[in-house]
Amino acid sequence: MSVISGILPAFRWHLNAMTQNQPHPSADGILAASKSIDPVFTNSPLIEQQTANTALGLRLLAKVETLNPIRSFKGRGTDWWMQNEPAGDHPVVSASAGNFGQGLAYAGRARGRRVVIFSATTANPGKVEAMRRLGAEVRLEGSDFDAAKAAARAYAQAHGCPFVEDGALRSIAEGAGTIALEITEHLSRQGVELDAILVPLGNGALLTGIGTWIRAKAPNCKVIGVVAANAPAMKQSHETGRLVSTETAATAADGIAVRECVPYALDCMRTTVDEIWDVSEAAIREARDFCRIHYGLVVEEAGAAGIAGLLENGANLKGRTVATVLCGGNVRTDIT
């Protein structure tokens, strides 16, 4: 592991330089997004199973983001971003492990906008095919997600195209934050208050969007991000105040396999997140199986990270009311 920015003041200065022209996500922005996002992505089920509650020793409410056309929550943020992006002739360029790219491709196809996605040569072939099926041009470059992101950024700069970085844009986080809005509105009608919400943490849009809404509307609820222990860069950066970059991010949870931090997301996390937990590969696998056994759902490893957090680190939440997001159903079929 290497640290690419040494001390806290330097870190804060770097973040401020990166984000000074872009406000943090807001509850008002999330509310506006909830009224405009393509309804095919919104109002997903919030489910509860007694067998899951018993196994975990708490009350768990799971927001299922696997039943929409791209089987992921990413369509919320990408649709809201595309709505707010000026029309143009240049294609939209981004990097993705697969789900974010599908969201951009879906939004671009609906608006006649070309989309170019860079993915790692090791990317899930099913996700690559899904992006192409939705109309994206997919280029495979680099051995992992962050290498693909560097190639995408260079391509966008060379061709004068807008570069869309997941986790680095307010509108994408606000789109993701509509998940929390739906959870709190649903529970408010039942008179239920949350003690904690666990959110997978990759590039940070989901966590910062959800954290923004929870801070504003359910301030007594603890917001907990969950990373793979094998991809700890965002956790270590948040906790140390240094921009940490790891040499690898070798986890089966490809949606949160991040080895380089997104500064905008880290800056937003300062005021929206209480804790970051890391989880082992064994817990990630167990969480994937937990979703199948207790909910009858196929959930990819990254999308089950919140469950993994409860399985491995949730002792202090026993007897509490907890929510999580099951946020991806695009599993690999080319490996066992």
What's the one-letter identity of residue 216?
A
Starting from the edge strand earliest in sequence, which strands make up the sheet with 163-164, in order?
137-140, 115-119, 92-95, 163-164
Comparing CA positions, the residue from 83, 109, 263 lying closest to residue 174 is 83
Domains of the chain: 27-73+169-326 (3.40.50.1100), 86-159 (3.40.50.1100)
Q: With a threshold of 0.85, does the pTM exceed it?
A: yes
- Is residue 284 within 8 A of residue 249, CB to CB? The reply is no
Residue 217 burial (C-beta neighbours within 10 Å; 0-12, 13-18, 19+): middle
* Residue whose pair of structure tokens reads 């079929």 in the numeric block: 333
User: DSSP character for 294?
Assistant: I
Which residues, 6+ apart, have CB-to-CB distance to 189 below 8 Å?
none
Q: What is the pLDDT along the chain (336 residues), one digit of tens a residue?
A: 333 333 333 443 344 444 447 899 999 999 999 999 999 999 999 999 999 999 999 999 999 999 999 999 999 999 999 999 988 889 999 999 999 999 999 999 999 999 999 999 999 999 999 999 999 999 999 999 999 999 999 999 999 999 999 999 999 999 999 999 999 999 999 999 999 999 999 999 999 999 999 999 999 999 999 999 999 999 999 999 889 999 999 999 999 999 999 999 999 999 999 999 999 999 999 999 999 999 999 999 999 999 999 999 999 999 999 999 999 988 876 644
Q: What are phi and psi of 75, to 5 degrees?
A: -65, -25
**pLDDT on residue 5:** 37
Q: What are phi and psi of 193, to 5 degrees?
A: -115, 140
**pLDDT on residue 13:** 33
The tokens for 34 are 């909830």
**pLDDT on residue 1:** 38
**How does 86-116 read in b/e, with b if 16+ C-beta sit within 10 Å?**
eeeeebbbbbbbbbbbbbbbbbbeeeebbbb
Cα–Cα distance for residue pair 127/300, rounded to 1 Å: 12
Cα–Cα distance for residue pair 116/139, rounded to 1 Å: 8
Please tell me whether residue 236 adopts helix, strand or coil conformation.
helix
Cα–Cα distance for residue pair 288/291, rounded to 1 Å: 5
DSSP bridge partners of 140:
119
